[in-house]
Amino acid sequence: MIRRINHTARKRIERRSLGIQLHRTTPLSASFSLDLAEYGFPRDAVVIAEAYGQSRNVRVTLGAVGDGLVALSAELPQLSSSDGIHIRVKVIPAYPSEPRLLGLAEGVAPDTDGESPARSLLPVRVSDLGELVWRVVYEEPGPVLEVNRGLLAGTAYLRQAHFVALAQIEVLRQILFEALWRGGEEEGAESESWQTRWIKLGETLAGRACDSDGDVNDEHRDWIRDACEAFARKREALTKLNLMETES
């Protein structure tokens, strides 16, 4: 993965320090519970959260760092749903100090009504796709799986054996290839990139590590193949597809 030195003084805020949950209320709302005590930010520094996705960016001021424990709930009426939403957390000096970043967490996948952040590794969005059933698009927070609005089964189709066997494994293959081609985050980067998160998933599936500087070679393709085959075994893709066919 691409590694460079970050010469800025800003601190990377780790995911373990951030409790962020989206609530499917009307309007959408979010709860923030942050523990920033270990980072040594000035007590009067200001904490800001930005919820972004759906071509929108909603900014919420959470207050001063104080003793490091920051908690606030806020409505996000500008967002239509929790799908594809990520959170950026910034710590900046209090006015009138020169504006600059003291700390940053980027691309945080929040919990949604108690569900694990892992579900946001590949958010799903219903879109107008013509005759395409699905496609993967790449946005700033990471890949998004778009499903055709005209699909009669809707997003429930994603859980059916047909999709798992015939499309879901191809989705994984495409994203792992894209992640390796783009490379991971720079050394000292403020947050873990989506590419790194997907490469870690691939490493878990394939059972071995994989590095990339942006050149995808035969070794990388073998690694992607092994990860996809392991995923297929884990989901029993062929067995469930055959069972679905015999029951129809």
**Location of structure tokens 């429930």:** 156
Q: Is the sign of the CA dihedral 198, 204, 209, 215 positive or negative?
A: negative
Tokens coding 96: 């009138």
Interacting residues of 42 by C-beta distance below 8 A, sequence separation 6+ = 65, 93, 94, 102
Query: 77 φ, ψ to 5°?
Result: -65, -15
What is the chain's pLDDT, residue by residue, as a tens digit (248 residues)?
443 334 457 899 988 898 888 888 888 899 999 999 999 999 999 999 999 876 788 999 999 999 999 999 999 988 877 777 889 999 999 988 888 899 999 888 787 764 444 445 788 888 899 999 999 999 877 898 888 888 887 777 877 888 888 898 999 999 999 999 888 665 545 557 888 889 988 999 999 988 776 678 889 999 999 999 999 998 888 888 888 777 76
Q: Which CATH class is domain 11-113?
A: mainly beta
d(CA 205, CA 225): 10
First-to-last C-alpha distance (Å) of the chain = 46
- CATH 2.60.40 in the chain is located at 11-113
From residue 95, give the alpha-carbon distance in Å to each of 44, 47, 63, 85, 99: 9, 12, 13, 29, 8
**Are 84 and 141 contacting, i.e. CB atoms less than 8 angstroms apart?**
yes
